Structure 1
Amino acid sequence: MSEAATMSALVPQPAHVPDALVYDFDMYHEPAMERDAPARLLEIAREAPPVFWTPHNGGHWVVKSYPAIMKAARDWENFSSEHIPREEAEALLANLPAGTVIVQPVPILLDPPDHTRFRLPLQPVFSPKAMMKLQAHIRELAIELVEGVKQQGHCEFVSAIGERIPTQVFLEIFGLPLERQDDFRKLVEEHLSDDFGTLDNSQRKLRRMADIMHDTLVERRENPRDDLISVLWQSTVDGRPLTLEDMQNYCVLLFIAGLDTVMNGMGHGVRHLAMHPELQAQLRANPRLIVEANEELLRRYGFVAVIRRAARDFECEGAQLKRGERVSLSYPMANLDPAEFADPGRFDLGRENKVHLTFGGGPHRCVGSHLARIELQTLYEEMLARLPAFRLDPDRPVRYRCGPVTGPREIHLLWDN
């Protein structure tokens, strides 16, 4: 079967899109991405225009240059996070049966000033000070998991360690039952496995997440504990108490972010370390360099692209975007912009400019970035301190998950005891 046969169907090129701005890229179903996402993203960053249009997945724009994304991330009046215009959403809701509730991840799918109001309760919960209190527990968990596979001489990293640390830490912060972590992970994987397509399909996925948390949300309202759900119940937006609908909207977003994104960063970083024994040796000899190594790994291997909607007709880097068109802001490609980073595909521990966009920018910058950094750094510290030099299993190549969040599906590691 040819590569083209496995990719999504093409849509006609709109009249306002010139041939020079068309680039063949399939976010969800591209074999080159599945084989080696880091290499393919680097290729696109070098070849494609700063803003390009792809005919896959219904046709959409991709913004990929560093300066263009820095500007777009702050320009919410043109690049709206509200995937459905507010007036259309209100009209749609008015035509639905009475009592119908639309689940919407909040605040990521809101624009200011609503975004600002709903993000405010999350700020103290995910502050650097609050997250540092979790470091000792994160370290205990990392040690337990690494020591659990050490004597085997091998492991499949994603399932044995990479999924377990962020999932367990998040569920504990959230107050959700740890015994159901495999069920929760499956829900998130389904959520990110393909394009949302229709509103019905989108709502079906989001509703499943809201439903699986419903009983816990209600119970914490009546019997608060020392967890994130209880803290949110005690918060207000514009002085009013949160409703169950508000809590569901908050929680589906945090559910997706907490159970998936950091895992991909871990996978990218561990794969790179496994491919470079000299870097492992350098970091083992001087663990203080792990902080710098983590930032360069985050730059080289970004893993999240966010979707925006053109709120009006406007121009971006010479491209004419039309109202309602979908736009992907590719933070991984921005991190590989050769105009911003010298030899961007090379991991350079001594690189002076490591100001990456892996955690986004503007008002929607990742609220969980402090927690992510702690988890990543702690994992690298414990793997390097406790395992011999590890390498990739040459007989089991890494394959990648595609979509708005990109990361290794499996990483088979070997080491000599």
Structure 2
Amino acid sequence: MKAMLASLPPGAPHIPQPIPITLDPPEHTKYRQPLQKVFSPKTISALRDSIRELAGDLIKAIKPDGRCEFMSAVAEPLPVQVFLKMLGLPLDRLPEYRAIVKEHMEAIDGDREGSMRRLQTIAAAMRDTLLDRRDNPRDDIISMLWKLEIDGQPTTLADMENYGVLLFIAGLDTVMNGMGLAMRGLAVDTDLQRKLRAEPKLIAEAAEEMLRRYTFTVPMRVVKRPVELSGAKMMPGDMVKLFLPAADLDAKEFPQPDVYDLDRENNVHIAFGVGPHRCLGSHLARVELQVLYEEMLARMPEFRLDPDHPPVFHGGHVIGIESMHLVWDV
């Protein structure tokens, strides 16, 4: 990607990059640090009540029907609406934004030229709002980013587009997949549902085992030097996928790894990655996941998978459920 960008002629349109995940320290630190405050535990904790209110409204809307397609009814609108509000993007464009992200995530592998075009499409979808917040700041992330200085220089539109495409993709796709996988786990384990309904204080701990058992992110990395791993030779420039779901199902770390075990002594997972690139939005994801479990178990009767409509899964950089029909007694 760097070589392709370097070959562009002077004056070519800016091609945004999802910074800072495409950078290494110290450049990575310079661009990531300004985002730390926005996604700190203290800042995210202040959003818990509004997230709970939205989750309650979504669940209240489906409860009388005795059934729902969970991904479109709850798992998508909950984290996506929360993030659009945080970012400062208009909620009425949610379907358009989701369609753009979905196309990007489905076509991302191997097609670098296509990826650059899709990143430009994402930036274009945000540009009106980016420019408006520069001139008319509000209480949102985009307005905050315009106030930053990077290396002592004011934030540019190119900087904003780089930040924007990263936040747009991460905020409008990732967490909903974790929600779907975990809710499927609960739907097939009614004993666990009953235990957590009886002892809701266990939900925070249960959510960590959910993250381990149903890890959903598969980040990409670029090989920097020749290396051989388990007989596979990799050369500089090669792209590799870090299949974190497999790491969290490693039997050397987790006995009977495919079993959800609420009493597991070691559930120190890497669902959010580790090191400098650890997921910046992990605190937000944890709050959203925990609140969803709490509200579903408090407000809904025992729910289960609809035998007439089995779940449909998808792979890619974020694995998850495309559609999942739940039923319950009314």
Q: Which amino acid aligns with 2:17?
A: Q
For the residues of structure 2 that align with 1:275 and 1:90, how far apart are their CA atoms? 48
For the residues of structure 2 that align with 1:336 and 1:173, how far apart are their CA atoms? 33
State the number of aligned residues.
330
For the residues of structure 1 that align with 2:262 and 2:87, how far apart are their CA atoms? 35
Say if 1:121 and 1:235, in contact at 8 Å, map to a contact too. Answer: yes
Say if 2:58 and 2:73, in contact at 8 Å, map to a contact too. Answer: yes
Matched residue, 2:48: 135
Matched residue, 2:168: 255
Give 3-state SS (helix, strand or coil) of 1:396's partner. coil
Matched residue, 2:136: 223
For the residues of structure 1 that align with 2:109 and 2:159, how far apart are their CA atoms? 22
For the residues of structure 1 that align with 2:218 and 2:111, how far apart are their CA atoms? 20
Displacement of 1:245 in angstroms is 0.3
Matched residue, 1:341: 254
For the residues of structure 1 that align with 2:136 and 2:221, how far apart are their CA atoms? 38
Give 3-state SS (helix, strand or coil) of 1:147's partner. helix
Matched residue, 1:188: 101
2:117 maps to which of 204, 209, 213: 204
Gaps of 5+ in 2: none
Residue by residue over 1:301-332, the C-alpha shift from the partner in whole angstroms, topping out at 9 and shown as x without a partner, is 11111111111212445543212222111111
For the residues of structure 2 that align with 1:165 and 1:232, how far apart are their CA atoms? 24
Q: Which amino acid aligns with 1:194?
A: A
Residue by residue over 1:104-158, the C-alpha shift from the partner in whole angstroms, topping out at 9 and shown as x without a partner, is 1111111111111100110000000000000000000000000111110111100
Matched residue, 1:241: 154
Q: Which amino acid aligns with 2:313?
A: Y
Matched residue, 2:308: 395
1:310 maps to which of 218, 223, 231: 223
1:28-39 equivalences under 5 Å are none
Matched residue, 2:295: 382
Confirm whether residue 356 of structure 1 aligns to residue 250 of structure 2.
no
Confirm whether residue 176 of structure 1 aligns to residue 89 of structure 2.
yes
Matched residue, 1:12: none
For the residues of structure 2 that align with 1:260 and 1:412, how far apart are their CA atoms? 19
1:151-166 equivalences under 5 Å are 151-166=64-79
Give the structure-2-normalised TM-score.
0.97
For the residues of structure 1 that align with 2:70 and 2:137, how far apart are their CA atoms? 36
Q: Which amino acid aligns with 2:6?
A: A
Give the structure-1-normalised TM-score.
0.77
Displacement of 1:204 in angstroms is 1.2
2:207 maps to which of 280, 287, 294: 294
For the residues of structure 2 that align with 1:201 and 1:324, how far apart are their CA atoms? 18
For the residues of structure 2 that align with 1:164 and 1:296, how far apart are their CA atoms? 24
- Of 217-226 and 322-331, more deviation after overlay is shown by 322-331
1:56-205 equivalences under 5 Å are 84=1, 86=2, 88-89=3-4, 91-93=6-8, 96-205=9-118
Change (3 A) 1:401 1:119: same
Q: Which amino acid aligns with 2:327?
A: L
Q: Percent identity?
A: 54
Displacement of 1:90 in angstroms is 5.7
Say if 1:304 and 1:358, in contact at 8 Å, map to a contact too. Answer: yes
Residue by residue over 1:201-223, the C-alpha shift from the partner in whole angstroms, topping out at 9 and shown as x without a partner, is 01111111100100000000011
For the residues of structure 2 that align with 1:224 and 1:357, how far apart are their CA atoms? 37
Say if 1:162 and 1:267, in contact at 8 Å, map to a contact too. Answer: yes
Matched residue, 1:80: none
For the residues of structure 1 that align with 2:5 and 2:115, how far apart are their CA atoms? 17
Give 3-state SS (helix, strand or coil) of 2:142's partner. helix
Residue by residue over 1:81-119, the C-alpha shift from the partner in whole angstroms, topping out at 9 and shown as x without a partner, is xxx3x5x256313xx252431211111111111111100
Matched residue, 1:14: none
Change (3 A) 1:320 1:200: closer
Residue by residue over 1:397-416, the C-alpha shift from the partner in whole angstroms, topping out at 9 and shown as x without a partner, is 11111111110011100000
Give 3-state SS (helix, strand or coil) of 2:172's partner. helix
Gaps of 5+ in 1: 1-83
Matched residue, 2:280: 367
Displacement of 1:286 in angstroms is 0.3
Matched residue, 1:284: 197
Q: Which amino acid aligns with 1:92?
A: S
Say if 1:121 and 1:236, in contact at 8 Å, map to a contact too. Answer: no
Matched residue, 1:408: 321
Displacement of 1:198 in angstroms is 3.3
Say if 2:15 and 2:119, in contact at 8 Å, map to a contact too. Answer: no
Say if 2:105 and 2:317, in contact at 8 Å, map to a contact too. Answer: yes
Give 3-state SS (helix, strand or coil) of 1:151's partner. helix
